[in-house]
Amino acid sequence: MSLPILLGERLSVEFINYKGLFQRKKTTITALKNVSLRIGRSDTVVVVGESGSGKTTLAKCLAGLMDPTQGYVSYMGKDIRRLSGKEFFEYRAGVQMVFQDPFSSLNPRWDVFTSVAAPIKYLRKEINQDIIRKKVSELITEVGLDLNEIQGKLPHQLSGGQLQRISIARALASDPKVLIADEPVTMLDASKRISVLNLLLDLQREHSMSLLFVTHDLAAAKVMGGKIVVMYHGRIIESGDTLQIIAKPMHPYTRLLVDLAPRLEAGGSARNGHDIPERPYKGDAVKSGCSFANRCKFATDICYKIEPSLEVNLGSRLVACHNPLTTS
């Protein structure tokens, strides 16, 4: 195996909440538990999970926007906490992120040109105005926007789709090796989503970047392809080839996601609303054992006692389940 560009090794993140009189009561929320993820050159990795599953926390840790409680992130083989000043700049420029909400991720008082130029100035230390201007123009054209239409506009004058393209251009401005896209299409109109997804795939190919794509939508994951990591409750429960997993999920939770993913069959599913096992109120009902057990219809005694570890199943597939679905 070649050296991964970005590696998260046994990452755990805990949030501590202080409650009660004089904040004496301490509650801990585990957002991420023992998650390892490697992103190689030109890889596409899709992270899927419902809200609260820790996918954004994982993305933020990898982008260096949040420190893990345990574990470490390494960039080009070096722990990011031990990088020298210059190397750290290299890491910042090399790992860029596109956020979910394009309306709040750009500076409202900068015109979009300034936003896209910022990484070139501050991360790539380019001071020649002509070069900056040329580069920004190229980027804006590359993400499919009309330069004359965009020039001098402030974020509030643009639509969500346009803003998300600007965010992508800004992320590309420092020539990153890894682009982390955190639910980049959920805030967009359904009809604009597919074109932004295709844009990401095209850009990934042209710039030979790696792409970490975070989503809750399996249909979007299917478009991206590559490798998939399914998260539940801060843990990775299944990972492997995206198309294979969607075709044949082995973890009951992945199966549930596949069953409920958007389809266009006119008849629709004949499911009864009350059959769908929803996340129980105040999540942590299961203290030990598998965190999905209380929603799982295949759960047996062992599921409530021992937490399943991520094990190899069917070649390259990893599944954390005591009773994986073998044939369906």
Where does this chain bind another protein (CB under 8 A)?
50-51, 189-195, 197-198, 216-220, 222-223, 246, 256-258, 260-274, 276-279, 281
How many Å separate Cα 134 from the centre of its chain? 31
CB 303 within 8 A of CB 310: no
CB 34 within 8 A of CB 203: no
Least CB distance from residue 99 to another protein, whole Å?
17
Of 187 and 325, CB closest to another protein: 187
Of 283 and 309, CB closest to another protein: 283
Of 86 and 274, CB closest to another protein: 274
Least CB distance from residue 271 to another protein, whole Å?
7
Least CB distance from residue 220 to another protein, whole Å?
6
Of 260 and 312, CB closest to another protein: 260
Of 84 and 269, CB closest to another protein: 269
Of 7 and 250, CB closest to another protein: 250
Residue type, 185: V
One DSSP character per residue, 141-202 reads HHTT--HHHHTT--GGGS-HHHHHHHHHHHHHTT--SEEEEESTTTTS-HHHHHHHHHHHHH
Of 191 and 326, CB closest to another protein: 191
Of 16 and 270, CB closest to another protein: 270
Least CB distance from residue 269 to another protein, whole Å?
5
Residue-wise over 158-176: b if at least 16 C-beta within 10 A, else e? Answer: bebbbbbbbbbbbbbbbeb
Residue type, 57: T
Least CB distance from residue 221 to another protein, whole Å?
9
The DSSP letter of residue 134 is H
Of 56 and 115, CB closest to another protein: 56
Sign of the alpha-carbon dihedral angle for 168, 119, 209, 55: negative
Q: Which residues, 6+ apart, have CB-to-CB distance to 1 below 8 Å?
A: 40
With the CA atoms of 184, 188, 194 and 195 taken in that order, what torsion angle do they form, in degrees rounded to the nearest 10? -90
Least CB distance from residue 100 to another protein, whole Å?
12
Least CB distance from residue 240 to another protein, whole Å?
16
Q: Which residue has the tokens 């970490």?
A: 212
Least CB distance from residue 266 to another protein, whole Å?
4
d(CA 126, CA 143) in angstroms, rounded, equals 21
d(CA 79, CA 177) in angstroms, rounded, equals 17
Least CB distance from residue 80 to another protein, whole Å?
30
Length of the chain equals: 328
Q: For residue 223, which of 244, 243, 245 has the smallest C-alpha distance?
A: 243
